[in-house]
Structure 1
Amino acid sequence: MCKILTIYHTILRYHTEDDEQRRMSNSGEDPMLGVVAHQMTSSLHAVFRVALSKMNSLLCCQDFSALKFDQLLDIVDMTNRFRLFGRNFFGHSSNELIMSLEKQTVSYFKRYHSERMEELRMFLENECFTICPVSQQFTIFDLQDFSFLEESRKQKTDLVGSPKDAVVEQNGFVPIPAHFVNPFATAELESRRQSQRNSRSVDEVEEANMENGSMDKEEEIEATPNLCNTALTLLRFFGRYIRMTSLLPSIADYSVPALTQLFEYFFYSVCIFFGSDGSEHMETPPKIKAILSDIYARLLGDEAESLNGTFDKDWRLSVPKPCSGLDLNHVDKLYGAVERVIAVESVEFVARQLDLVRPVMESLVPPSNESIISQLDEFYAKILSGVPDTRRLVFDCVASRALKLPVLIAAVSNTKWDINELQSHHSSYVDFLVKDFEAFSLRLDHVAECVNLSEAVRALLWDRTIYYTFKALVQGYCEGGKCSTEGRALMQLDFQHLLLKLEPICNLHPVPHTAFVEGYIKAFYLPENGLEEWISKHSEYTAKQMISLLGVATHVSKKARTRIINALND
C-alpha cells in the first residue's frame, strides 16, 4: 500500500513540476494548466482513506491473542508509522486506526499482564535469593529492554527544526521526495533494527571500557548490588510495559497500574517470605504493616477481583509460597541472613529504579488523565516511601532470635537481687551474654563472606540485636522479684561491665539503646512523685515492667502504688 501511495505522489510530483515548466515557458494562459495536479491534490484524502480502510480491516480481523510480545510491538510500531505516513503525506489523522488498535491491544495487554504476574509468582516460588552478578554502576537503563528510549530520543532530536510541520499546516500534507525510502520495506526495517543493535553494542563496549579504566585508576571499588534473578526479571517487565505505552500512550490507563502491581506483588512477597518468622516479641513497623494490608486487600483479598481492570477476568492472583530450598531456620546461618540481605536490597534496588523511570512514566501519561497521574503519585508517596522500613522488618526476624534471649531472661530473673552488701564483681549472666554476642559477631562475619554486607546493614543488624537483647535484659530485671538498693547497684555494675565488653565487639560507638536499660534501673531511686511522673512519660516499658518496678520501690506509699497501677491497667 505504501508503495502504491508513493507512486501516487510521484505522479502528483510529475504533474506539479510539469505545470511549473509549462508556466515558465508559455506566456499564454493554458486552461489545462494545474488541473490534474489540483484534482490529484483534492483526492489525497479519498485515496488514503481507501488504504486506511484496508489497514483497519487487517487490524480488526487479526487475532492478537496468538501473538508474541515482540510481534505485537512490531504491529503497533508499523501502525504508528502508517499513521505518521498518512498525516505527513496525505494530511489524514487516521483516528479510526488508533481506535481499532487500542481495542485489540487493551485486550491483549490484560491477558499479557495476567501471564506476567503468574510468571512473577513462579519466579518467586523458585527463587533461592542468590546474587545475580551485574556491574557496579548498573541501572535499569542498561537493560536491552530500555534501549528503545535512546532510539526515541534520537528520533525526536532528528525532528527538531524539521520544516514538515510548517508545510503540513500550509498545504495539509508534505510532498513525498524523489529519493523517499519506503519505511515499510523489509530492508529498511532490518536496517533500523540492526542500527539499534549496533548502537547498543557500541554503548556497551564504551561503558565496559570506561568501567575498566576506572577500575585501574581507583584503589577502592564500590561493591556490586545484591540483586536476585527475580528482581532483574521484574525490571525487564517494566521495560516491556513502558515500551508498549510509549508506542501506544492511550493504554496508559492499564499499563501504569499494571506496572505498579508488579512491584507491589514482589514487595509483598519478599515481606511475607522474610518478615513474618521473627520471635513473638518482634515489633512490626506500623507503616509497613499498613502498606502490606493495603496491598493484600487490593491484589489478593476477596475484594480484589477487578484490580482496576488490568487483569484478565478469568484469572486470579494468589499468595506465593517460598522456595523449599530457602533455609531460614538455623541460628548458625543467622536464620538465612545472606538470603535476607539479598532480598531486602533487591526490593530497595528495584524501588530506586522506579524513581529513575518516574519521569519517563509521567511523560507517557496524557496530562488530561488525572486519575492515572493521581494513582502514580499515590504509589510513589505511599508504597515506595515505605520500602526503607523493609530492612527493619526483615532484619528484626534475625535480631529478635539471634541470641539466646529466653535463657538470658531466665538467668537474669534467677539472679539474687535482694542482697545486703555492695558487690565488686559482675553477675554470671553477663559472661554468658558476652559470649553470645561474640558468637553473633562470628556468624555475621561469615555472612559478610557470602554477600556484600555494607557497613549500614551490619550496623543495623547490630543495632536491632542489641535492642531486643536490652529489652530481654529489662524483662529479666522485671521478673527478678525482690530487689534491694544494693541489688540495684549490682544491676548497674553488670550493665556497665556488659557495655565495656560489648563496644569493641559490635564496633558501635556509643552502644545504642543503653538509655532503655539505664532508665529502668535508675528509676528505682526516684522519689514517689518523681517516679509517678517518670512512669507517665515512658510508654516504651510494658505495664508489667512498671508494676514490677513499683513493687520493689518500697519507698512508694501503698496509696500511690495503687493509684499508679490502676492508671497503668486503664
Structure 2
Amino acid sequence: MQKLEIVNVEFFKGICQLFEVFFHFVFETFAQQNSNSGGKGSPDPINYRLKTALSRIQQDCDQWIRAPSSSPASLNSAFAHTDITPMSPPSTNFGNTTGTSVGLKERCAGVDTISLVARILHRSKAHLQTMLLQNNGAVVEDFYVHLVDAVPDLIEHIHRTTARQLLHINGYVDRIANAKWEVKELGLEHNGYVDLLLGEFKHYKTRLAHGGIRKEVQDLLLEYGLKIVSQTLIEGLSRVKRCTDEGRALMSLDLQVLINGLQHFVSMNVKPHLQIVEAFIKAYYLPETEYVHWARAHPEYTKNQIVGLVNLVASMKGWKRKTRLEVLEKIE
C-alpha cells in the first residue's frame, strides 16, 4: 500500500470521520443483540472504552450515521440482492432463529475487516504524526486513543454477541433457580438441567463447525460460550431462595458433571472458566462476618448476585434481621 506524501489536518480529520462511520456500521450490524433470536439472553454490557468511542462517533458523525441511506430499510434492500448466510429475510443484524449460522461468516468477515483497518492505521501512525507536524500531534493521538484502540473492545463485543445468539440457553437461569435445592440427603444423581445444558452446548459447537469459519475462530467462540454458561449458572444460583447444606453440595455435584461433560466438546481446559461458579457456591459456607470483605474482593459478581447470596444465607442460617441489613448496607 502506497503512503500519502501530502497529508494536512483537514484531510486527516476526513479519514477519521470515515473510520468512525465504518466503526459505527460494524457495531450496528454485528454487535447489537437481536431481540428475535432464540438464543437471546441478557445483552452483554458495553465496556467504558467502547461506549466512549460510540458516543464520540454519534457526536462527530450524526449527520452521516443517521442519513436515510443508513436506515435499516435501505440496508435490507441492499442485502436482499446479496448472497449471505443464513438464507433468510435480510436483517441488519443477520439474525435468524431458524438458521444455524446467524450470519456467522459475515460477522467474522466484519471482525477481520475492521481488525485489518486498525492494524494498517497503527502502522501508519508514525508517518501521520510526521506529516502533520508536532502542532497537530494531539489530533492524531486523540483519534488513536479514543477510536482505533477501541477496536479490540468492539471485536470482543461482537464475538460475545455472536456466542449469545448461537448458544440457546436463555431459559436456564430460571431452570437453575427453580430446581430443588432444599434437600436433606445428597444422592448420586445430578439435576436434569445439566444434561439439557450439555445438549445445548453440543448444538452450539455443531453450529460453529458448520458455519464456514476458521478453526481458531471456532475455538474463540467456544471459549465465549463457556463464559456465557458460567454467567448463566451464577445468575441462576444467585436467585435460589431456599437451600440446605446438602443442596449446596448438589450444586457442586452438578458443576462437576457439567465440567466433565463440557470437556468433551472443547480442547481447552474447562475448569478455569467455571471456577467463578465454584467460588460462588462455596461462598455459602463463609462466616457471616466475612461477606462484606468477600463481596469487595470479588467484583466479578454483580451486586444483585451478591445480595441474593447474602439473603439466602441469612434465611437458611438464621441470621438476625439486624445483621443481614448491616451486611447488605455495607455491600451496597
Residue of structure 2 equivalent to 1:318: 66
Q: Percent identity?
A: 27
Counterpart of 2:106, as a letter, is E
CA distance in 1, matches of 2:150, 2:326: 41
Runs of at least 5 residues in structure 2 that lack an aligned partner in the other structure: 35-40, 80-89
Kindly indicate whether residue 13 of structure 2 is the aligned counterpart of residue 257 of structure 1.
yes
CA distance in 1, matches of 2:209, 2:201: 12
Kindly indicate whether residue 145 of structure 2 is the aligned counterpart of residue 395 of structure 1.
no
Counterpart of 2:96, as a letter, is H
Of structures 1 and 2, the one with the larger relative CO (CA 8 A, separation 6+) is 2
Cα distance per residue 1:202-229 (max 9 Å; x no partner): xxxxxxxxxxxxxxxxxxxxxxxxxxxx
CA RMSD of aligned residues (A): 2.2
CA distance in 2, matches of 1:547, 1:435: 31
SS of structure 2 residue aligned to 1:333: coil
Kindly indicate whether residue 96 of structure 2 is the aligned counterpart of residue 330 of structure 1.
yes
Residue of structure 1 equivalent to 2:62: 300
Contact 1:403 1:440 in 2 (8 A): yes
Counterpart of 2:329, as a letter, is N
* Residue 454 of structure 1: how far off its partner (Å): 4.8
Residue of structure 2 equivalent to 1:379: 143
Residue of structure 2 equivalent to 1:418: 182
Identify which of 127, 131, 134 aligns with 1:364.
Answer: 131
Residues 541 and 355 of structure 1, relative CA distance in 2, 3 Å threshold: closer
Residue of structure 1 equivalent to 2:169: 405
SS of structure 2 residue aligned to 1:419: coil
Counterpart of 1:436, as a letter, is E
Cα distance per residue 1:286-313 (max 9 Å; x no partner): 2111111111111216xxxxxxxxxxxx
Counterpart of 2:300, as a letter, is E
Counterpart of 1:497, as a letter, is V
Contact 2:202 2:265 in 1 (8 A): yes
* Residue 363 of structure 1: how far off its partner (Å): 4.2
Residue of structure 2 equivalent to 1:465: 225
* Residue 470 of structure 1: how far off its partner (Å): 1.6
CA distance in 1, matches of 2:170, 2:141: 45
Cα distance per residue 1:420-458 (max 9 Å; x no partner): 0112111110000000000000000011xx23x251x33
CA distance in 2, matches of 1:290, 1:556: 46
Kindly indicate whether residue 50 of structure 2 is the aligned counterpart of residue 288 of structure 1.
yes
CA distance in 2, matches of 1:545, 1:354: 41
Residues 426 and 359 of structure 1, relative CA distance in 2, 3 Å threshold: same
Cα distance per residue 1:372-427 (max 9 Å; x no partner): x3211221233111111122111121223333333212221221100001121111
Cα distance per residue 1:245-291 (max 9 Å; x no partner): x3xx4x61321111122112111110121112254341212211111
Counterpart of 1:482, as a letter, is R
CA distance in 2, matches of 1:342, 1:556: 55
Contact 1:408 1:429 in 2 (8 A): yes
Aligned runs of 1:179-258 on 2, under 5 Å? 242=4, 246=5, 249=6, 252-258=8-14
Aligned runs of 1:274-285 on 2, under 5 Å? 274-277=30-33, 279-285=41-47
Counterpart of 2:55, as a letter, is S
Contact 2:183 2:244 in 1 (8 A): yes
Residue of structure 1 equivalent to 2:268: 508
Contact 1:484 1:552 in 2 (8 A): no
CA distance in 2, matches of 1:441, 1:470: 16
Kindly indicate whether residue 294 of structure 2 is the aligned counterpart of residue 538 of structure 1.
no
Residue of structure 1 equivalent to 2:234: 474
Residue of structure 2 equivalent to 1:555: 317
The alignment covers a number of residue pairs equal to 304
Residue of structure 2 equivalent to 1:444: 208
TM-score with structure 2 setting the length: 0.84
Contact 2:104 2:162 in 1 (8 A): yes
Counterpart of 2:200, as a letter, is D
Contact 1:260 1:379 in 2 (8 A): yes
Residues 552 and 259 of structure 1, relative CA distance in 2, 3 Å threshold: closer
Counterpart of 2:319, as a letter, is S
* Residue 541 of structure 1: how far off its partner (Å): 2.3
SS of structure 1 residue aligned to 2:42: coil
CA distance in 1, matches of 2:318, 2:59: 50
Residues 253 and 539 of structure 1, relative CA distance in 2, 3 Å threshold: closer
Runs of at least 5 residues in structure 1 that lack an aligned partner in the other structure: 1-140, 150-241, 302-315
CA distance in 2, matches of 1:522, 1:556: 18
CA distance in 1, matches of 2:127, 2:288: 63
Residue of structure 1 equivalent to 2:278: 518
Q: Tell which structure's C-alpha radius of gyration is larger.
A: 1
Cα distance per residue 1:43-102 (max 9 Å; x no partner): xxxxxxxxxxxxxxxxxxxxxxxxxxxxxxxxxxxxxxxxxxxxxxxxxxxxxxxxxxxx
Contact 1:491 1:521 in 2 (8 A): yes
